[in-house]
Chain A
Amino acid sequence: DIQMTQSPSILSASVGDRVTITCRASQSISSWLAWYQQKPGKAPKLLIYKASSLESGVPSRFSGSGSGTEFTLTISSLQPDDFATYYCQQYDGYTITFGQGTRLEIK
């Protein structure tokens, strides 16, 4: 099974900061990676798919990059609404695995 490892687990940042979250796969997944944002008590929301494609309606301050085994989610200038937990997810067509999550906190 493909394992997904996110880092850091917790990230403290301020409004206006540029932040990057990393996701590593235990084997190559090409560009088959998605990113989600989840706020307390809410369902996850799709942000990025195919490693770097921005979902419709998602602000352009969110971007994704990477391929193979290493991927990043970048928020260019943190807004108050961005403090949440972020998950990466690999999809190889037959199985799905999530990373353990990164909680983005206000510094």
Chain B
Amino acid sequence: EVQLVESGGGLVQPGTSLRLSCAASGFTFNDYAMHWVRQAPGKGLEWVSGISWNSGNIGYADSVKGRFTISRENAKNSLYLQMNSLRTEDTALYYCAKDFNYGNYAFFDYWGQGTLVTVSS
């Protein structure tokens, strides 16, 4: 059974940093691209960032480019999102999602339950 478990969320002040983690199990992690998708309270889904199986294809939404860094550690079946210079508009539930593909981005066949990030002074 595929499982994606996010952690690392919390309440932080604007301008600070936070690192999210996603622990994957139930599939061969290094065979698939992975993503972070967020959802602000009461709003729609927003793709944040994606990373291919070998970290060769990394992409970011314009809203986080230059502030967030995605990475993965295949040996630990883990996905990460380093979030710097956080803004109030980054407040959201952050989902880890598994891609159907390994290289170019496609669609998400499995999602975690999310970790909540709240940026507020």
- Which residues on A are within 8 Å of B, measured CB to CB? 1, 32, 34, 36, 38, 43-46, 49, 55, 87, 89, 91-101
**A98 touches which one: B44, B50, B100, B112 (CB < 8 A)?**
B44
In whole Å, how far is A55's beta carbon from the nearest beta carbon of chain B? 7
- Which residues on B are within 8 Å of A, measured CB to CB? 35, 44-47, 50, 57, 59, 62, 95, 100, 104-109, 111-114
**B45 touches which one: A1, A91, A92, A101 (CB < 8 A)?**
A101
Can you give 21 contacting A-B residue pairs, CB < 8 Å?
A34-B106, A36-B108, A43-B112, A43-B114, A44-B111, A49-B107, A87-B44, A89-B45, A89-B47, A89-B107, A91-B106, A91-B107, A92-B105, A93-B106, A94-B57, A94-B59, A94-B105, A95-B47, A95-B59, A97-B47, A98-B45
Query: A43-B95, A49-B100 given as contacts; is B46 within 8 A of A98 (CB)?
Result: yes
Cα separation A85 to B100 with both chains bound (whole Å): 22
Q: Would you call A93 and B105 a contact (CB within 8 A)?
A: yes
Cα separation A22 to B112 with both chains bound (whole Å): 27
Enumerate the 5 nearest inter-chain pairs by beta-carbon distance, A residue then B residue, closest first: A93-B104, A34-B107, A43-B111, A96-B47, A101-B44
Chain B contacts for A38, CB-based, 8 A:
45
**Besides A45-B111, A46-B108, A94-B105, 10 other A-B contacts (C-beta < 8 A):** A32-B106, A36-B108, A43-B114, A44-B108, A44-B111, A46-B107, A55-B109, A95-B105, A96-B50, A100-B44
The chain B residue with its CB closest to the CB of A34 is: B107
Query: A49-B100, A100-B44 given as contacts; is B111 within 8 A of A1 (CB)?
Result: no
